[in-house]
Structure formats: C-alpha cells, structure tokens
C-alpha cells in the first residue's frame, strides 16, 4: 500500500485528491487478489481512484464508466500508462449490465461508486453547478442531453418544483422558493446561477438565512439531482453491480448526501438479510442472503482528510461482499 504522502502525488490534476482512497483500496483489495481480477469504476471522474487501483494491482483490468465526455478524455490521458489494462466507456452507470456485456466481462470482482459531481464539474464556472459563480443555469454532467437546470426552473409546474426541492434538496421552505421562482420567471426567464441564488435567498425567511451555509445550496443540489436523474441512475446501477459480482466480489459506495446514502443503505440492507418467512427452524438456501455488509453503518473520512480536502467532508462509505451465488448459479 502507498504511503499517505505518495497518495497526494497521484498526479492529482488541479489538486484533485480521491476521497477516502486508502479505505477504498483496503476494502477492495481482498476481492482483487486473484490472478486476473476485474474492477468497475462506475464514476471514473478524473481517474484518481482508478489510477491507484491499477498501481496497487499489477494484473488488474479496470472498466471505467463516466457520463461526462470530458471525464473520459482526461482520465484516458491520465491512465495512458495502463492503457492495455483499461476499458473506458462513456455511459450512464445504469447501463452497467450492457457495458459489461459489451466488454465481454459479465461478471466482475469489484465495483466502485464515487457518486456525485467531480471537482472540475464544480470548478468550471460555465457548467453552472455552483452558486458561487455567475454562469448559465446548466448543471448537465453530459452536455449532449437536452434537460438543463434552466429548463427545469423555467418550465416545471409549482407542484413539480416543490417536490424536487423538498425531496432532493430537503428544503423546508420548498413552497416559498417555488412560488418566488414562478413569480420571477413570469417577469423574465431565469437563466443565470446568480439570479437563481438571489431569488432563493429572498424566498428564505431572514432568521433562517442567518443560520447555516448559503441558502441556495439545497436548491442547487435538488436541481442537479433532477437534471442528471442521479437517484434513478443509482437505483438501477447498484443492484446491477451486485448482480454482476463474482463470489467474494465486493462493492464500495461513496455517497455525498443523505438521499444517496439512504438509497445505498436500503439496497444493501435488502440484499444482506434473509428473505424467508420468519420462524423457520433452518433457513432454506434460497432464503439465505447472497451478500454481507463490510461496513458498520456508514464510515466517514478522518478529520485529517477533511482538513486536507474539504470536499471529502460529506462522504459516507458503505461496502458489501458477495458470500453466496444467486440460486440459479448454484
């Protein structure tokens, strides 16, 4: 395993540091100990985790997926020294089963999800993810898709906006924010991050504005999740990843907000519990869980890591291992 200082030097472009890297490597290592292991990095991003995995396991083949063509371009350059051991695919992670079939590797030894947005997506102002810069309201991870944050803000009904703000942003003042958006867009279309951030600020009661961080944070998170259908993608991709795991195969998920983490917890809980009727003296093989949890609750990054990389602060890590084949494979 690399020393802590070496990890900071993983060619970190733009100072990018992969989140909970040491723990991710440690959790995945037992699944990658065979002679020809295969790992899927379902959120390739800048290829930070991918590079460390390829460096740590000399016979590892890595299938990297990202929906953002810029991420594929950058990680192709970064992972060039490992080109023979990598298959990088521009796809949405819920296409995992098709990507694996196409790569001729329907079963894999490990899958890593490092969810959410990447540092460049947040830092490049024109992508419109950040309320701290003035930019067009965009927020698409894949800029070929049609739905943008501008379309959501200017065309969704009040009821739809309230649902998104409440469910995806956990915004207690969702109806107030939605009402003001609808009023303001009646005067003039809302096309910039700055104007939207100002509208949200005005909609939030002054007493609440003074507490917590930027009041626009929750609305921007909600719009981002809606524009990129983030939870829907995870809802499909995580079960597909579990299905693809070989015996002893492992999945690690790094989530960055409570909705992602809750969904991860629910999917893993459903696969790690017995499914038979209660009270059977000996559980039937068909009812025994196929997976076991490797983490107790969600693991958090260390204080030291958060001090070094504030973007790691909200990370929640959960992992599971396949302990039995599916019934039809027995």
Ligand X SMILES: C[S@@+](CC[C@H](N)C(=O)[O-])C[C@H]1O[C@@H](n2cnc3c(N)ncnc32)[C@H](O)[C@@H]1O
- 315 lies in the binding site for ligand X (CB under 6 A): no
Q: CA distances (Å), 236 to each of 18, 241, 242, in order?
A: 24, 9, 11
Mark the segment that binds ligand X (CB under 6 A) among 64-72, 144-152, 215-223, 322-330: 64-72
Q: Could you give the strand order of the β-sheet that contains 291-293, starting from the edge strand earlier in sequence?
A: 86-90, 61-66, 38-41, 108-114, 245-255, 316-322, 291-293
Single residue of 20, 38, 63, 141 touching ligand X by CB under 6 A: 141
> Is residue 290 within 8 Å of residue 323, measured between CB atoms?
yes
Spatial separation of the C-alpha atoms in residues 100 and 44, rounded to whole Å:
15
- 171 lies in the binding site for ligand X (CB under 6 A): no
Kindly tell me which of 2 and 176 has the beta carbon lying closer to ligand X. Answer: 2
Is 34 labelled as part of a ligand binding site? no
Spatial separation of the C-alpha atoms in residues 34 and 47, rounded to whole Å:
23
- 128 lies in the binding site for ligand X (CB under 6 A): no
CB of 41 to ligand X, least distance (A): 7
Cα 231 to chain center, whole Å?
A: 9
Single residue of 23, 32, 39, 43 touching ligand X by CB under 6 A: 43
Residue whose tokens read 């909609």: 203
Kindly tell me which of 65 and 199 has the beta carbon lying closer to ligand X. Answer: 65
- CB count within 10 Å of CB 50 equals 27
Tell me which residue has its CB nearest to ligand X: 45
Binding-site residues from annotation: 47-49, 66, 114, 121
Q: Which residues are near ligand X by CB under 6 A?
A: 18, 43, 45-49, 65-68, 71, 92-93, 114, 116, 118, 141, 230, 233
Binding-site residues from annotation for S-adenosyl-L-methionine: 47-49, 66, 114, 121
């Amino acid at each position: 395993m690399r020393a802590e200082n070496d990890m900071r030097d993983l060619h970190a472009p733009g100072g990018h540091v992969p989140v909970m890297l040491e723990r991710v490597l440690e959790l995945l290592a037992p699944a990658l100990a065979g002679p020809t292991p295969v790992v899927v990095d379902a959120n390739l991003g800048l290829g930070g985790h991918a590079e460390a995995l390829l460096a740590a396991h000399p016979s590892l083949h890595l299938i990297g997926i990202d929906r953002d063509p810029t991420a594929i371009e950058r990680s192709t350059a970064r992972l060039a020294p490992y080109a023979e051991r990598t298959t990088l695919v521009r796809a949405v992670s819920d296409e995992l089963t098709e990507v694996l079939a196409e790569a001729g590797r329907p079963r894999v030894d490990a899958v890593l999800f490092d969810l959410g947005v990447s540092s460049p997506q947040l830092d490049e102002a024109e992508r419109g993810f950040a309320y701290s810069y003035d930019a067009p309201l965009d927020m698409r991870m894949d800029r070929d898709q049609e739905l943008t944050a501008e379309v959501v803000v200017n065309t969704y009904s009040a009821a739809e906006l309230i649902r998104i703000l409440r469910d995806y942003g956990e915004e207690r003042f969702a109806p107030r924010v939605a009402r003001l958006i609808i009023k303001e867009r009646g005067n003039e279309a809302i096309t910039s991050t700055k104007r939207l951030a100002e509208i949200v600020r005005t909609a939030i009661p002054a007493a609440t504005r003074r507490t917590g961080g930027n009041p626009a944070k929750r609305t921007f998170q909600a719009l981002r999740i809606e524009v990129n259908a983030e939870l829907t993608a995870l809802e499909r991709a995580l079960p597909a990843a579990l299905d693809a795991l070989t015996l002893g195969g492992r999945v690690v998920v790094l989530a960055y907000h409570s909705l992602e983490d809750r969904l991860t917890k629910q999917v893993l809980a459903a696969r790690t519990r017995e499914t038979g009727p209660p009270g059977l003296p000996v559980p039937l093989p068909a009812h025994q869980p196929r997976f076991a949890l490797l983490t107790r609750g969600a693991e958090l990054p260390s204080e030291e890591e958060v001090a070094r990389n504030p973007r790691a602060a909200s990370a929640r890590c959960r992992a599971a291992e396949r302990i039995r084949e599916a019934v039809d494979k027995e």
